[in-house]
Chains A and B, each alone.
Chain A
Amino acid sequence: MPVKAIKPYEFAPQDALEHFHGKQLLYVGWDEHLMFCSPHTLPLAPEMPFAALVGEVLPAVYGYHPDFARIDWNTVEWLKSGQPWRPEMDKSLAGNGLRHKDVLRLRTPGLNGLQGSCN
C-alpha cells in the first residue's frame, strides 16, 4: 500500500551513506543494561578495526556502568540484526561485513545490571 499522492511521489532517503563524510553508522546496544536508556548511534570509519571499537570506542560509551570493567570479552555474545554473530577482532568493520546502519547488540552472561535488575 504505497503513499497516496496527487503526483508521482519519490524522494531520496535522508540518511544514505554518502551524507556521512566517509563514515558509516553503527548502532550498538548492551542487553540487560537499561540504565543506558536506548542503543547508541556511532559514526565510524569502515576501515576501523573491530578491536578498536571494543578497546577505544565502547569504554567511552559504557564505561560509567560498574559492570563494564568486569566484562570478559572472550565470553561476550554478539547479535547482528537480532541473530547470533561472531566478530573477527583484527578485521575492520567493513571486513566483518558490517553495513551502514547495522545494529550490534552485546550480551554479557553473568553481568545483568545493577543487582541483576537489568539496569
Chain B
Amino acid sequence: MDMKATAKKLGLKERYACMTRGLDWETSYQPMDKVYPFDKFEGIRIHDWDKWEDPFRLTMDAYWKYQGEKEKKLYAVIDAFAQNNGHLNVTDARYLNAVKLFIQAVSPLEYMAHRGFAHVGRQFRGAGARVACQMQAVDELRHAQTQIHTISNYNKYYNGMHSWRDWYENVWYLSVPKSFFDDAITAGPFEYIVAVSFAFEYVLTNLLFVPFMSGAAYNGDMSTVTFGFSAQSDESRHMTLGLEAIKFLLEQDAANVPIVQGWLDKWFWRGYRLLTLVGMMMDYMLPKRVMSWKEAWEIYAEQNGGALFKDLARYGIRLPMGWEQACKEKDHISHQAWGTFYNYTGAAAFHTWIPGQDEMAWLSEKYPDSFDKLYRPRLEHWDAQEKAGNRFYNRTLPMLCTTCTIPMLFTEPDDPTKICYRHSEYKGNQYHFCSDGCKHIFDNEPEKYVQALLPPHQIFKGRNFKPGVDPGAPGFDPLAAVLDFYGVEVGRDNFDFKGSEDQKNFAQWSGKGADPGQSR
C-alpha cells in the first residue's frame, strides 16, 4: 500500500493566483483587439493586467459556499415573516411607502447592475478583473431576486408594489434611477466601473444601506433589513472592487489620472443627485428614525469620503467637483424632495403625508438652521388646508433638469429661498439644469444628453397614452390617461396616506389604529 504524502494546503494568496491567473491566453486566429473591442477607445492605458489584485481574494469555490449560506439565512427569515404575518409588525402603515419606493427605484437598478457587470466582465482583457465582475454580476442578480421575493410578501396586502417593472420604464420620478444606470451602462467599460463600483458603491451606497436598513429594523421590518444587509455584505466586496479598480487605473499610467478624475466628477454628482430619494426616505418615511440624512452625510460622505480622497491624493486625485455644494445642501434636500412628492403624489405610486408634531420637532432638532425657517411653514399650511378639506395637489407638470431628470427643486447653493436655474445652448436648442454639476456634465457630452427622455415632455409629445387614446376627444383628461398608461391605479396607489386603503387595512388587521405613529 502506497502512502501518499498529502500536499500542504495552499494559502489564500496562492489559491487566488491559481483561480485568476493563467486562465486566459493570447489569441492567434483573431487579433486580441477584435476579441476585446471596447477596452481601449476610452483612452485608458493598461500595461500589466496581472497587477490587478482582488484584496478579498475570494475564489469561486469560497464564493459559492458563502453566498449559499447567506441565501439560506435570508430565506429562513422570509419564510418566518410570511408564516407569522410579519407585515403587521411594522411601526405603522406609512413605513410601507419606503418599501414601495425601494422596489420601484432600487431593485430595478440591481438588475441593471447585473447586466452592466455581465457586460464589462466580458470586455476586460485581464482575467482577475473579469472574475471579480462575473461574481458581482451574479451578486446583483441575487439582490434583484431576493428583493422581489421579500417584497412580494407585502404586495399581497398593500398597494404601490404590483407593477414596479412597468413603472420603472415610464413613471416620472423613476426616470432618475433609470437614467443614472442607462447613462452608465452606455459608456465604456472603464467608465462604467468607475461610475458604479467606485463613485456609487464606494462613495455613496453606505448612505443607503447602513442607516436606512438599520431604520427598517428599528421600524419592525425584519425581512427588509435581512435582504438589505445580505445585499450589503456583497456590497463590501463591491466597494473593495471599486477602490481596487481606481488604484489599478491610477497606477497603470499617469495619462489615466485626468480621465478618471473627469469620471469621478461626473458620477459623484449623478450618484449624489440620485440619493436625494434616500435622504427623503430617512427623514420623512421612517416613523421611528435612526439618524437624519444630514448626520449620515457627515459620517459617510464628509468623514469617510474625506479619508478616501485624502488617501487617493498621492495619485493626483482631488475631491470630486460639486463636493462642497453637496455638503451645503445637506440641510435642505430631504425637505425639498418630500415637498416635491407631496406636490405630485397624485401622479405617484406611493402615498405622502404631513409629519406629526413630534416628527416635526425631531426635524427641527436635527435641522436647526433650516427646518423651522424654511420648511415648517409650508408643511403647517398644507396641514391646515388638508384638515379644511383642501389638500394641495400640484396639477401642472414640473420642469425637469435635462441631466439628472429630477424636477428643478434644488435651490441656489448659497440661497435656499431661490430655485437654481442653469442653462446651455446646443445646436439651436436650449437645455436646462438644476445645478452647475448637471450643466457641466451636459456641456461635456451634449450629443449624449440631448437624447434625455424627460417624462413631462414624453407626455406632451403624446407618447404616454395607451394605443387608441384620442387626446383631441371632448372632455379628455390627460392626467387620467397618463396614469392609465403607467398602470397606476388611481385612488389606490396614489394620493395622500390619509384615507388610503393601506391605512384602513393596516389599522383593521393590526389593531394599532389608523394613526399609530402620529400625534397630529
Contact of B378 among A10, A27, A31, A119 (CB under 8 A): A119
Most buried by B among A16, A102, A118: A118
Pick the residue among A11, A31, A43 that contacts B451 (CB under 8 A): A11
> Using an 8 Å CB-CB cutoff, how does the interface string of A77-118 with B read, 1 for contact, 0 for none?
000011000000000000000011111010000000111011
Give the CA-CA distance A67 to B454 in the complex, in Å: 30
- A8 (CB) vs chain B CBs: closest residue: B447
Cβ of B41 and Cβ of A37 under 8 Å apart?
Answer: no
Chain A residues near B37 (CB, 8 Å)?
6
How far, in whole Å, are A27 and B400 apart by their CA atoms in the complex?
10
B447 touches A3 (CB 8 A): yes
Tell whether A114 pairs with B462 under 8 Å between CB atoms, given A38-B340, A119-B374. no
Task: Select the stretch in A17-25, A46-54, A68-76 that faces chain B.
Answer: A17-25
Please, what's the 1-or-0 string for B355-399, where 1 marks a CB less than 8 Å from any CB in chain A? 000000000000000000110011001100000000010111111
Q: How far is the CB of B429 from chain A (nearest CB, A)?
A: 6
Q: Shortest CB–CB separation between residue B77 and chain A, in angstroms?
A: 38
Contact for B381 among A13, A23, A99, A119, CB less than 8 A: A119
Residues of the A chain whose Cβ atoms lie less than 8 Å from the Cβ of B394: 36-37
**Contact call B417/A118, Cβ cutoff below 8 A:** yes
- Tell me if A's interface is mostly helix, strand, loop or mixed: loop
- In contact, A38 and B407 (Cβ under 8 angstroms): yes
In the complex, the chain A residue whose C-beta lies closest to that of B336 is: A37
Q: How far is the CA of A43 from the CA of B397 in the complex (A)?
A: 10
Interface size (B, Cβ < 8 Å)?
56
Smallest CB-CB separation from B372: which chain A residue? Answer: A117
Contact B430 A35 (CB under 8 A): no
Known: A38-B399, A114-B377, A118-B417. A64 touches B429 (CB 8 A): no
* B86 beta carbon closer than 8 Å to chain A: no
- Bound form: Cα–Cα A119–B429 in Å: 32
How far, in whole Å, are A105 and B412 apart by their CA atoms in the complex? 15
CB pair B340–A25 under 8 Å, yes or no, is no
Give the residues from 398 to 427 in chain B that come closer than 8 angstroms, CB to CB, to chain A.
398-400, 407-409, 411, 417-419, 421, 423, 427
Q: Are B41 and A6 in contact (CB under 8 A)?
A: yes
B358 CB, nearest partner CB in chain A, Å: 22
Evaluate whether A9 and B41 lie within 8 angstroms (CB atoms) in the complex, with A29-B419, A38-B419 already known.
no
Of all chain A residues, the one with the shortest Cβ separation from B471 is A21
| Distance from B399 Cβ to chain A, minimum over Cβ atoms (Å) | 4
Q: Are B432 and A14 in contact (CB under 8 A)?
A: no
Q: Which residues of B, 330-350, contact A by the 8 Å Cβ criterion? A: 336, 339-340, 342-344
Tell whether B457 is near chain A: CB-to-CB under 8 Å. Answer: yes
CB distance from A30 to the nearest CB of B (A): 10
CA distance A16 to B409 in the complex (A): 24
In the bound assembly, the distance between CA atoms of A40 and B427 in angstroms comes to 24
Structural contact, A16 and B429, CB atoms closer than 8 A = yes
In the complex, residue of chain B having the shortest beta-carbon distance to the beta carbon of A64 = B392
**Interface status of A15 (Cβ within 8 A of chain B):** yes
B445 on interface, CB distance cutoff 8 Å: yes
Query: How far is A3 from B438 in the complex, measured between Cα atoms in Å?
Result: 16
Whether the Cβ atoms of B421 and A41 lie closer than 8 Å is no
Chain B 282-325, CB-CB to A under 8 Å as 1, else 0, gives 00000000000000000000000000000000000000000000
| CB of B417, distance to nearest CB on chain A (Å) | 4
A13 touches B373 (CB 8 A): no
Q: Please tell me if the beta carbons of A5 and B41 are within 8 angstroms of each other in the complex.
A: yes
- Say yes or no: B432 contacts A103, CB within 8 Å: yes
Interface residues of B in 417-473 (CB under 8 A from A): 417-419, 421, 423, 427, 429-432, 444-448, 450-454, 456-457, 460-462
Query: Across the interface, which residues of B come within 8 angstroms of A100, CB to CB?
Result: 429-430
- Give the residues in chain A near B423, CB-CB below 8 Å: 81, 103
Q: Are A32 and B417 in contact (CB under 8 A)?
A: yes
Q: B65 to nearest A CB, angstroms?
A: 40
Q: Given the interface contacts A14-B457, A19-B461, A103-B421, does A37 sit within 8 Å of B374 by beta carbon?
A: no
A83 to chain B, nearest CB (A): 11
Find A13's partner among B188, B396, B429 (CB 8 Å cutoff): B429
* Residue contact A13 to B407, C-beta cutoff 8 Å: no
Is there contact, CB below 8 Å, between B340 and A3? Answer: no
Pick the residue among B340, B418, B427 that contacts A37 (CB under 8 A).
Answer: B340
Residue of B nearest to A102 (CB): B430
A114→B421 CA distance, assembly (Å): 23
Whether the Cβ atoms of B397 and A101 lie closer than 8 Å is no
Asked if B38 is at the interface of the complex by the 8 Å CB criterion, the answer is yes
Given A13-B450, A29-B419, A60-B395, check contact A37 B430 (CB 8 Å). no
Complex-state Cα separation, A39 to B262, whole angstroms:
30
Instruction: State the 7 A-B residue pairs at the shortest beta-carbon distance, nearest first.
Output: A13-B450, A118-B417, A38-B407, A119-B378, A37-B340, A117-B377, A39-B399
Q: 10 interchain pairs (CB within 8 A)?
A: A1-B444, A11-B450, A14-B453, A27-B432, A29-B419, A39-B398, A61-B396, A82-B421, A99-B430, A117-B374
